[in-house]
A and B are shown apart, each in its own frame.
Chain A
Amino acid sequence: MRKLVKSEEWELSLKNFKLNKKRTISTIIGIILSVALVCAVATMATSFQETLIQNAISETGYYHLKVGNVTDKEKEEMQKIKNVQNIIELYDVGYAKMQGIQNEDKPYVHLYSMRNETFENLKFKLIEGRFPENEEEIIISKHIKTNGKVNLKIGDTITIEVGQRMTLDNEKLNQNNPYIEREENINNKKTYNFKIVGIIERPEYSFEDYGDPGYTIISTNINIGEQNIYIALKNSHKYKETIPEILGAKDYNEVKELETENFKFKDFTLNKELLRWEDFAVSDSTVGMLYSVIGVVLFIIIFTSVFCIRNSFAISTTEKIHMYGMLASIGATKRQIKKIVILEAMILGIIGIPLGILSGLFADFVLLKIVNLLLGDFLFANLDGIVFKTSILPILISVFLGFLTIYLSAISSARKASKVSPIEQLRGNNDIKIKAKKLKTPKIIEKVFKTGGVLAYKNLKRSKKKYRTTVISITVSIFIFITMNAFITNAFDLTGNYYKDYDYNMVLYNGVENLSQEQLNKIFELNNIKEKYLLYDAEQYSLTVTDLSKINTIDERNYSEDEEDFGYMMQIVALDDNSFKKYAKEIGAKYDEIKEKGILCDEITEWDEETGNAKKSRRYNYDENDTITGLYGEKEIKVQVGAVTADKPYGLEGTYSSGGYLIFNKDYYKDLTFNLSQININSNNAEKLQEEIENLKLNISINNMEENVKEEKAMVLVIKIFLYGFIAVITLIGVTNIFNTITSNMELRQKEFAMLKSIGMTKKEFNRMINLETLFYGTKSLIYGIILGLIGTYAIYNAFAVKIDAGVYIPIKPIILSIIFVFILIFIIMRYSIFKINKQNIIETIRKENV
């Protein structure tokens, strides 16, 4: 008997799939989506980590610890330590003064000697030429030319006297000590002749410190001076044990706190960047945050998946209740029946999980390609973009979580199937076990929606459990969608989404005040200028207001009652007439009335240090037509207020003045003298315009914001792709589930529908009943989802600790989108179900039961 049941079990499980192909397929799709999502998230994490690691390596080279002044013997000892993978070394030969260097703080060249292997490993960037073959050849860094202004090229020869940098008291100086002319010397000089064979980019600051008074030059085979070694570990996770061992410290704490008295080697540097990313420890604040975000995401995925997949299994179990009853009646034990159900689930898993993993990896791969296409240029200087990397870990996690999800989903169905008693089943459909009381319908339903509505309402009440998963699926998706929107809005405000509201994309500053009218005209004649806004500073820059009665908000931290002259400074600026006209229109003021007056812009933001909340208010009490009295330079002047606004004028959007601004019309306000400080240009081809302006050689600074805008837009797009992609997949999982629930429900009620039709319900009324059902539970899920979404939105705003007193932000757009989406979705599914039901013959259905 046992053996028979075993092969029978397989056969039965397999036959069951064929029974309802559609159900099986949609369950498998649900599994694939869930696993793919888990795998994609985990792989994304490993990809990020790998990218950060590679980026660190590209900047610093591959080492974890640099130790200075090491003898060959000591180096050998270190090589023996178990966790040490590789040691490369170089010689810090010394410094030499070089003729012609025009940087007062950096008069030296700093000579190093190393093998080609070290040169490659430390990631110096060779622009021209090659690595030296012997001790008479040298590589110089590019910034000797650009920064030191010494014109050297490949093929030139130099002669330098290299020695130790020391103080007058013969103390050694290294690159961390800045150059102090009269207090240092080069001792023990030795003369070298070099031919220049190569040029490298300025080394990263991890090699040549910003304050190093010598430009890096590199030769080979000169084993003089201090030997510095770079140690790469085999297993970077064990760095807290290995590094103290190498340095001769008691434990890592001493290393961290730099308590180096008892160390064997006191001159060392950790490659913190690389260690941080290779270790990827939860204790690191950034990594910790990443882990928690991933944790939350995975939780949402598993929660949704278990829900949906469990529902799918429950439905297929219900459909096969006859079979389970029959099995029980011919003698299968409860255990055996449970086994069959779980077996079915596992088969689905074996098909679905690998497909899910492949899909997840593929999706990540494609996604990263797209991201790199959009953002590659901006992200990392030395890499092409985010590196795609997967390892065993994400795959194992996906497999594990996948099977866990399926198992959890299947056990309840298994239990239910095993409990079916043969008699109960053979007797008939005991679908309804509800009490009459629970089906009570409020009178209004009947009044408004008539019989169709009553039937719809009652049906929902009896199928509460069945529709619960549908309701929850929809609710979760809506909640996530609305909350995500809040997250996106906040995150971008925070990262300074400055550029979205600007009317211009280029700023000319630094030096414009010295331009003659002729030069200005040359600029304005150029093509590609759509609009320009000129900003002027007042000669004395600001107006100081000390009249406390006119000050609305006082910053308690700065104020003390004893201070007699306490006040605030209004920054005085002016716009050219055209810009002023535009500005006036935008703030709703009448240009003609205010062109000879000042516009007061004084919105300030106060920060509550304890709660981190920001509050916006006005600095002053001045209103339209008031007169401001204040100190301008040495004099006291009076200014009439033409308008008050919170919007800053062109050119000042990114600035903040705690005393506010006074804005005048340069052409009409004659009481003050103004100097040009900024030209803001709206260009239709910023790149070309920048080139043309640079060709005019006017000695001014140009800020091309197009690049910034492009980068920011790309960043925003990428983040949106990730977040909305995530929402889409979660929703899809929910949708497969909803599809399952609703179609199975329709099938189970075939008899009922046939009955209703036979006693005379028209098609129209029938459809109406179904549509009302949709309306009822669609509305229910929407309300739950929207309420939860609003709560989520509020929570996110709190988390970002910027509460805008101006009012609560209601995410109207996402709410409307949710509503539209939900109803479209459900109507489609319902239509499909009705279509299938209407196809069937009433007679056939009634026949089925009445033969």
Chain B
Amino acid sequence: MEILKVENLTKIYGRGLAEVKALDNVSFTVNKGEFVAIVGASGSGKSTLLHLIGGVDRPTSGKVFINGKDIYKYNDDELAVFRRREIGLIYQFYNLIPILNVEENIVLPLKLDGKDVEQDKLDELLKILGLENRRNHLPNELSGGQQQRTSIGRALITNPAIILADEPTGNLDSKSSDEIVDLLKKSNKQYNQTIIMITHNLEIAKTADRILRIEDGKICEN
């Protein structure tokens, strides 16, 4: 079942001589439950692509369909609501709200939606993340790996259509990196969660089901 369709996506930054074509007419599809890795050199347009899929930025031209819906038909507010229900975002740095503890950070998208928290689901999630003993800690009291695990928790809690991860292990040591990748794989297998992950590490990329390579704003499948 097709969960994501990207059609002729183009993004141009700047104007005139300073014009940068970050994405050039990109098209592809992803099915539900796929674990896709996007690789490419620095500046190749990976992050731009990810942000456009997540509705965090608007394209210069082209369309993105998630679960059959053309997301760029939404206005800003509708896009925000869409993001918190259908997309889980994980970044390399600064994922968490510094004044909220682990638990609060994880349930934040639910709260923004006005939904109730199912305590047992939360507890189970914390267990899987290995954070049950840290649930009341603030981000500055956590290690890098623990922070990223919290981010993953936040991304998972709403059962989004797609999880988008931009270099999630870029800031971590090898042990933590492995933990994170394992977690992602687990949630992919266990919950049939669709994941698109950007990485420059080929080893990590190989753990995915499918690798997309980007060069100069264009896709070449592998």
- Chain A interface residues toward B at CB < 8 A: 428, 430-436, 439, 450-451, 454-455, 458-459, 461-462, 751-752, 755-765, 841-843, 846-847, 849-850
Q: Which residues of chain A are near B95, meaning CB under 8 Å?
A: 755
| A760 & B77 in contact (Cβ 8 Å cutoff) | no
Distance of B78 from chain A, by nearest CB (Å): 9
A850-B84 contact in complex given A439-B138, A760-B112, A843-B57, C-beta closer than 8 Å: no
| A758 & B94 in contact (Cβ 8 Å cutoff) | no
A455-B97 contact in complex given A432-B138, A434-B138, C-beta closer than 8 Å: yes
| B77 & A462 in contact (Cβ 8 Å cutoff) | no
B191 within 8 Å of A by Cβ? no
| A436 & B138 in contact (Cβ 8 Å cutoff) | yes
Known: A450-B111, A760-B112. 9 other contacts (CB 8 A): A433-B140, A439-B99, A451-B111, A759-B108, A841-B57, A842-B56, A842-B57, A850-B93, A850-B167
- Residue of A whose beta carbon sits closest to that of B78: A762
Q: Which residues of chain A are near B56, meaning CB under 8 Å?
A: 758, 842-843, 846
B80 within 8 Å of A by Cβ? yes
Distance of A456 from chain B, by nearest CB (Å): 10
10 contacting pairs across A/B (C-beta < 8 A): A432-B99, A434-B138, A755-B97, A759-B154, A760-B109, A762-B77, A762-B81, A846-B91, A849-B91, A850-B47
Within 8 A of A (CB), among B85-125: 85, 87, 89, 91-101, 108-109, 111-114
Give bound CA distance, A850 to B83, whole Å. Answer: 20
| B100 & A847 in contact (Cβ 8 Å cutoff) | no
| B77 & A752 in contact (Cβ 8 Å cutoff) | no
- Chain B interface residues toward A at CB < 8 A: 47, 51, 54, 56-57, 76-77, 80-85, 87, 89, 91-101, 108-109, 111-114, 136-141, 154, 166-167
| A761 & B80 in contact (Cβ 8 Å cutoff) | yes
Q: Which residues of chain B are near A451, meaning CB under 8 Å?
A: 108, 111-112
| B108 & A850 in contact (Cβ 8 Å cutoff) | no
Q: Which of B51, B80, B154 contacts A843 (CB 8 A)?
A: B51
Give bound CA distance, A435 to B137, whole Å. Answer: 8
Give bound CA distance, A59 to B95, whole Å. Answer: 80
Give bound CA distance, A751 to B96, whole Å. Answer: 10
Give bound CA distance, A462 to B51, whole Å. Answer: 31
Give bound CA distance, A432 to B85, whole Å. Answer: 29
Q: Which residues of chain B are near A459, meaning CB under 8 Å?
A: 99
| A764 & B77 in contact (Cβ 8 Å cutoff) | yes
Which residue, A454, A461, A757, A850, has most C-beta atoms of chain B within 10 A?
A850
| B114 & A450 in contact (Cβ 8 Å cutoff) | yes
Q: Which residues of chain B are near A765, meaning CB under 8 Å?
A: 112
- Residue of A whose beta carbon sits closest to that of B91: A850
- Residue of A whose beta carbon sits closest to that of B96: A755
Q: Which of A454, A755, A756, A763 contacts B76 (CB 8 A)?
A: A763
Give bound CA distance, A758 to B108, whole Å. Answer: 12
Q: Which residues of chain A are near B99, meaning CB under 8 Å?
A: 432, 434, 439, 455, 458-459, 461-462
Give bound CA distance, A755 to B84, whole Å. Answer: 12
Which residue, B47, B85, B113, B114, has most C-beta atoms of chain A within 10 A?
B47
Q: Which residues of chain B are near A751, meaning CB under 8 Å?
A: 94
A759-B94 contact in complex given A430-B140, A436-B138, A459-B99, C-beta closer than 8 Å: no
| A757 & B80 in contact (Cβ 8 Å cutoff) | yes
Q: Which of B47, B114, B141, B167 contacts A847 (CB 8 A)?
A: B47
| B114 & A760 in contact (Cβ 8 Å cutoff) | no
Q: Which residues of chain B are near A428, meaning CB under 8 Å?
A: 93
| A763 & B80 in contact (Cβ 8 Å cutoff) | yes
Give bound CA distance, A849 to B47, whole Å. Answer: 12
Give bound CA distance, A583 to B124, whole Å. Answer: 83
| B83 & A758 in contact (Cβ 8 Å cutoff) | yes
Q: Which residues of chain A are near B101, meaning CB under 8 Å?
A: 436, 439
Distance of A772 from chain B, by nearest CB (Å): 14
Give bound CA distance, A569 to B47, whole Å. Answer: 98
Which residue, B51, B80, B137, B166, has most C-beta atoms of chain A within 10 A?
B80
- Residue of A whose beta carbon sits closest to that of B167: A850
| A759 & B89 in contact (Cβ 8 Å cutoff) | yes
Q: Which residues of chain B are near A761, meaning CB under 8 Å?
A: 80, 84, 112
Distance of A846 from chain B, by nearest CB (Å): 7
Distance of A817 from chain B, by nearest CB (Å): 34
Q: Which residues of chain B are near A846, meaning CB under 8 Å?
A: 51, 56, 91
Q: Which residues of chain B are near A759, meaning CB under 8 Å?
A: 83-84, 89, 108-109, 112, 154
Give bound CA distance, A455 to B113, whole Å. Answer: 15
Give bound CA distance, A760 to B91, whole Å. Answer: 15
Q: Which residues of chain A are near B91, meaning CB under 8 Å?
A: 846, 849-850
Distance of A834 from chain B, by nearest CB (Å): 15
Q: Which 10 A-B pairs have the closest CB atoms?
A: A760-B84, A760-B83, A458-B99, A762-B80, A451-B111, A432-B98, A762-B77, A843-B57, A432-B140, A436-B138
A758-B89 contact in complex given A432-B138, A432-B140, A751-B94, C-beta closer than 8 Å: yes
Distance of B148 from chain A, by nearest CB (Å): 13
Q: Which residues of chain A are near B114, meaning CB under 8 Å?
A: 450
Distance of B17 from chain A, by nearest CB (Å): 20
Q: Which residues of chain A are near B108, meaning CB under 8 Å?
A: 451, 759
- Residue of B whose beta carbon sits closest to that of A460: B99
Give bound CA distance, A847 to B166, whole Å. Answer: 11
Distance of B22 from chain A, by nearest CB (Å): 11
Give bound CA distance, A847 to B138, whole Å. Answer: 24
Which residue, B89, B109, B138, has most C-beta atoms of chain A within 10 A?
B138
Q: Which of A433, A434, A462, A849 contacts B93 (CB 8 A)?
A: A849
Q: Which residues of chain B are near A757, meaning CB under 8 Å?
A: 80
Which residue, B89, B98, B111, B137, has most C-beta atoms of chain A within 10 A?
B98
- Residue of B whose beta carbon sits closest to that of A757: B80
Distance of B50 from chain A, by nearest CB (Å): 10
Q: Which residues of chain B are near A435, meaning CB under 8 Å?
A: 138
Q: Which residues of chain B are near A431, meaning CB under 8 Å?
A: 98
Distance of B52 from chain A, by nearest CB (Å): 10
Q: Which of B47, B51, B80, B136 contacts A436 (CB 8 A)?
A: B136
Give bound CA distance, A842 to B114, whole Å. Answer: 23
Give bound CA distance, A850 to B94, whole Å. Answer: 9
Distance of A620 from chain B, by nearest CB (Å): 69
Give bound CA distance, A462 to B54, whole Å. Answer: 31
Give bound CA distance, A462 to B136, whole Å. Answer: 16
Give bound CA distance, A431 to B94, whole Å. Answer: 12
Q: Which residues of chain A are near B85, meaning CB under 8 Å?
A: 760
Give bound CA distance, A461 to B81, whole Å. Answer: 28
Q: Which of B92, B98, B111 contacts A850 (CB 8 A)?
A: B92
Q: Which residues of chain B are near A763, meaning CB under 8 Å?
A: 76-77, 80
Give bound CA distance, A849 to B138, whole Å. Answer: 20
Give bound CA distance, A758 to B90, whole Å. Answer: 10
Give bound CA distance, A462 to B101, whole Å. Answer: 13
Give bound CA distance, A435 to B138, whole Å. Answer: 7
Distance of A116 from chain B, by nearest CB (Å): 85
Q: Which residues of chain B are near A462, meaning CB under 8 Å?
A: 98-99
Q: Which residues of chain A are near B84, meaning CB under 8 Å?
A: 759-761
A850-B166 contact in complex given A755-B95, A761-B80, C-beta closer than 8 Å: yes
Distance of A229 from chain B, by nearest CB (Å): 82
Q: Which residues of chain A are near B93, meaning CB under 8 Å?
A: 428, 849-850
Give bound CA distance, A779 to B216, whole Å. Answer: 54
Give bound CA distance, A833 to B222, whole Å. Answer: 47
Distance of B174 from chain A, by nearest CB (Å): 20
Q: Which residues of chain B are near A432, meaning CB under 8 Å?
A: 98-99, 138-140
Distance of A849 from chain B, by nearest CB (Å): 5
Give bound CA distance, A14 to B93, whole Å. Answer: 33
Distance of A160 from chain B, by nearest CB (Å): 98
Give bound CA distance, A455 to B104, whole Å. Answer: 10
- Residue of A whose beta carbon sits closest to that of B137: A436
- Residue of A whose beta carbon sits closest to that of B92: A850
Q: Which of A433, A434, A436, A756 contacts B97 (CB 8 A)?
A: A756
Give bound CA distance, A439 to B109, whole Å. Answer: 20
Give bound CA distance, A805 to B162, whole Å. Answer: 73
Q: Which residues of chain B are near A433, meaning CB under 8 Å?
A: 140
- Residue of B whose beta carbon sits closest to that of A751: B94
